[in-house]
Structure 1
Amino acid sequence: MDKNLKNPLAIDPISKLLLRFSVPTALTLIVNYLYNIVDQIFVGQKVGVVGIAATNVAFPLTTICMAIALMTGDGCAANISLHLGRGEKEDADNTFANAFALLIVFGVFVVIVGNIFLEQLILIFGATESVFESAASYSRIILFGLPFMIFNVSFTAIIRSDGNPKYTMKCMMIGALINVVLDPVFIFGFDMGVEGAAIATIIGQFVSGILCLIYIPKFKNIHFSALNMKLKAKTCKMIFTLGIPSFFTQISAAIMQIVMNNLMRKYGAATIYGSDIALSCYGMVMKIYQLAHAMLVGVSSGTQPINGFNFGAKQYSRVKETYKLAVTVSFVISLIWFAIYQGLAGVIGSLFVKNDPLYSEFTKHFIRIYMMAFFIYGPPMTTASFFQAIGKPWKALLLSLSRQAFFLIPLALFLSSIYGLDGAIIAAPAADILTMALAVILITFELKQWRKENFI
């Protein structure tokens, strides 16, 4: 028997493997998003609507860095899984070393460019006159923690491909705990407001980043050598090719945030709520939404090492079985979060800002419309991950980009021009429906091709 077929990825029950890889990944991302949620809650209680709006305006910076991290980490992890499935140990080692070098380059680039163009970026991100200074102060501090966040997110995927997703979960949890403890100290104790939230965040990110780097000598299936860090065009191309769907998914999310921030500013001013409440509420909803998104990323990303290895080993029936189970799980998760969003919209808003009737009213209105079709949000993500894992990045890219870039942004711009603020909000459920339809079409044609080639 081929030694690869003795690997747990090829013989263990799919449900056990999916649980093993998905849960730590989801928890890791949830903890990472909690950095921003905790900031929002404490800032909201201390500074109010303007403070939340300021951190929301700064948030695209984090999303852009997340795009860089996921491109490098997911691309590296997908290639490592495929190489190991084919028995190409040396190529797997080279892939990791090149990815590590790229992360260093990207981290330095973000700090330098971000500081040079900070004020221009804040304006592009949708800052109003009343929140500009707070957003700039928060962003200027956050920039110095973003290189460590890039390492954290990238290593989540890479260490997962090495078979130890629990380690990154622990790293993120330690960083989050530090952030939670230090937030009230800096925000309330030292009366530092949004700047205090930023300082607490980067300290947590720094600790998590260092803990991830400590894992390098502990890799089971990869050997790291500094000599392999010399960037090779072919290796970098493979990392970017399989990581580009993750990059464009996140970068389109950043563009969506920027567009929606500006629509909230423009059309919110024409309502009784005003620009700051609209900006604040949108930012708050995006943070809460990311908790659900993180769970679904955990499911979809958790399938990658399983599908990548088994596709490389030509175990096609296991790939199909993994996909079917992942789609079912992602649908159930989406349905549960849909019920939470619809049933607890008012409670969610009160966590951030209290005793503001206009804010409370708009929060309930926004959440119930924006999340109207969330029960079908998960399956397209799982389908995109499936295509990424089997080495078909362009189909993954098409599906990954569809919700934000192809559907939500154009619809938000068009509908808001007709219906104002509500038009921008209702674009989200419309985009979810169209994305689900595209996922069904793509996977139907793919499995039909598999049957034609006798893979299944």
Structure 2
Amino acid sequence: MKNDRNMTQGSPYKLIGGFASSLFLGNLFQQLYLFVDSIIVGRKIGPLGLSAIGGTDWLIFLVQGFVIGLIQGFSILLGNAFGEKNERKFATYYKKARTLCIWLSLILVIILFFFTKYLLRLIGTKQEVFDYAYTYVFTIFMGVPLLIFYQLFSSALRSRGNANIPVLIMAVSSISNIILDILFLYVLNIGILGAALGTVLSQFLSMVLCGYFFLTGYKIEIHTANDDKHGIFAKLLCMGFPTAMQSAVTSIGGLMVLSKINSFDISFLTAYTVAIKVYSLLEIGASSLGIAVSTYVSQNYGGNKKSRVREGVRAGLIIGFFVSMMCSLLMYFGGEQIIRLFIDDTRITAEITTYAYNFMRILSYYFYLLFVLYILRASLQGMKVASTPLISSFLQLVMRLLCAYVLTIFIGSRGIFFGEIFAWLFADMLLIFSYIYSIRKMPVEYSGVAEPPIPLK
């Protein structure tokens, strides 16, 4: 396909910057419709509806993050195969990943159908928002298979350096989601169910479009795949499961912190929801860079180009610094104005505004730490190092819990906010040491002019 992008040649800054920009636009559309979704719910239903969504974000991310992490792990192997210019291996990996996705869809739908209500009770969902929360979460969960196959198709495209098609599809999906939200909430007046249905139907559109472009674009390679190879399932799971668990651990930490947040009043929960929505919107700069670096590193690692791997990581960190500074300035100087978008002036309180802005201001001081985390974690995953990113997630979990349950004793609710900062900081320290060790261990590429060097032990 003409949109494939070979990252084993050319300037790392242009390749990563250009690819990340395309990913950023796609992710921006995705987050914008979640952002607008929250604004519509907050203004139409009020703080209770907004709190219901915010109080279930981590539960939804537990499932969706696991799915996205698993398939992101699959895409590392797809990227390695593309970097090796081995189309047969790429096709074989894809077909086996598709089979795993079918089984994953069936298992998750069955589990979530029966246990969603129990999970909401487990995290201490407030009684006054419980009905809203259950309706919203259950509807989203029943659409998980759509997310799974959208992620499979889009990750397969991105592993080949093709970000343009997923971006265009996400733009169409996001616009349709906003239109459906307005239709369901303001015209049909079906409440929070409408917000959830809008999301699910938009995911269906994304899956169909992305699947169409991928399957028609790579039909020949897929049909010539060799299904007789053994161990492909094991390779995919060994790469995908640690990435999935990494997201799951982060989500579990978020859920445990959320249980603590639910012990505060409804104003704090609403403020936390607003701040997290803004944070999630700005986080896409870091996540987009992470995916771009992961694709770049996986292709060059597959091609045994050590110097390019190092140059790419350096380029990602430098680009990340400037992007994070812009995000920090926006949070610090525009935070209060953004907060007021979510709730009608007649319903918002000074307490909500103060809580939310304090959280955003604290995040703005240390936001580059988040970019370092995404870039180094993605680099290690691209080099097939699965254990350290998973351990870093456990470290983040520990720091968030310590701050939520211990630091809050001394400094009150601000301890919740500092949990994010300490989680990033300690994870970064581990990832830095692991990256230095891994890049030194990688063999120097063989140019074909002299005898190949002996790999470092």
Output the TM-score relative to the length of structure 2.
Answer: 0.88
Distance 1:222 1:338 in 2: 47
Aligned partner letter, 1:255: I
2:134 corresponding residue in structure 1: 136
| Counterpart residue type for residue 395 of structure 1 | T
| Alpha-carbon contact 1:384-1:397 (below 8 Å) kept | no
The answer to whether the 8 Å contact 1:73/1:156 transfers is no
Say if 2:88 and 2:224, in contact at 8 Å, map to a contact too: no
Question: Which of residues 304, 307, 310 is equivalent to 1:317?
Answer: 307
Distance 1:85 1:222 in 2: 19
Kept in 1, the 8 Å contact 2:16–2:289? The answer is: yes
Aligned to 2:399: 407
Separation of aligned partners in 2, 1:393 and 1:24: 26
The aligned residue for residue 116 of structure 2 is: 118
3-state SS in 1 of match to 2:56: helix
Q: TM-score, normalised by structure 1?
A: 0.89
Moved more, 76-85 or 40-49: 76-85
Paired residues in the alignment total: 441
1:250-296 CA distance string (max 9 Å, x none): 21232133122211111x1xxxxx2x222222222222212222221
Which aligned segments of 4 or more residues in structure 1 are displaced greater than 6 angstroms? 226-230, 451-456
- Which of 31, 36, 39 is the aligned partner of 2:37? 39
Matches within 5 A, 1:411-422: 411-422=403-414
Q: Which residue of 1 aligns with 2:328?
A: 338
Q: Is it true that 1:368 corresponds to 2:364 in the alignment?
A: no
Find out whether 1:250 has 2:247 as its counterpart. yes
Cα drift, residue 245 of structure 1 = 4.2
Contact kept, 8 Å, 2:79 with 2:298, in 1: the verdict is: yes
Aligned equivalents of 1:261, 1:226: Cα separation in 2:
48
Question: Corresponding residue for 1:108?
Answer: 106
SS in structure 2 at match of 1:11: coil
Q: Is the 8 A contact 2:80 2:299 kept in 1?
A: yes
Residue 25 and residue 241 in structure 1: after superposition, are their counterparts in 2 closer, same or farther (change >3 A)?
A: farther
Q: Which amino acid aligns with 1:129?
A: Q
Match of 2:448 in 1: none
The 8 Å contact of residues 53 and 136 in structure 2, kept in 1 or not, is answered as yes
Distance in 1, matches of 2:161 and 2:207, equals 19
Alignment of 1:43-442 (within 5 A): 43-220=41-218, 223-225=221-223, 234-266=231-263, 268=264, 274=265, 276-355=266-345, 356-357=348-349, 358-403=351-396, 405-442=397-434
Q: Hey, what's the Cα distance between the residues in 2 that align with 1:262 and 1:59?
A: 12
Q: Distance in 2 between matches of 1:352 and 1:395?
A: 38
SS at match of 1:223: helix
Aligned equivalents of 1:402, 1:80: Cα separation in 2: 29
Contact 1:381 1:400 in 2 (8 A): no
Paired residue type of 1:343: F
Question: What are the ranges of 5 or more consecutive residues in structure 2 without an aligned counterpart?
Answer: 445-452
SS at structure 1 position matched to 2:231: helix
Which structure 1 residue ranges, 5 or more long, are not aligned? Answer: 1-6, 269-273
Q: Please tell me the root mean square deviation across aligned C-alpha atoms, in Å.
A: 2.6
SS of structure 2 residue aligned to 1:192: coil
Q: Secondary structure at the match of 2:55?
A: helix
* Contact 1:54 1:132 survives alignment (8 Å): yes
Residue 26 of structure 1 corresponds to 24
Identity of aligned residues (%): 20
2:28/2:284 contact within 8 Å kept? yes
Letter in 2 for 1:18: I
Using a 3 Å threshold, how does the CA distance of structure 1 residues 166 and 455 change in structure 2: closer, same or farther?
Answer: farther
2:169–2:210 contact (8 Å) kept in structure 1: yes
Summarize the Cα distance change of 1:80–1:451 in structure 2 as closer, same or farther, 3 Å threshold.
Answer: closer
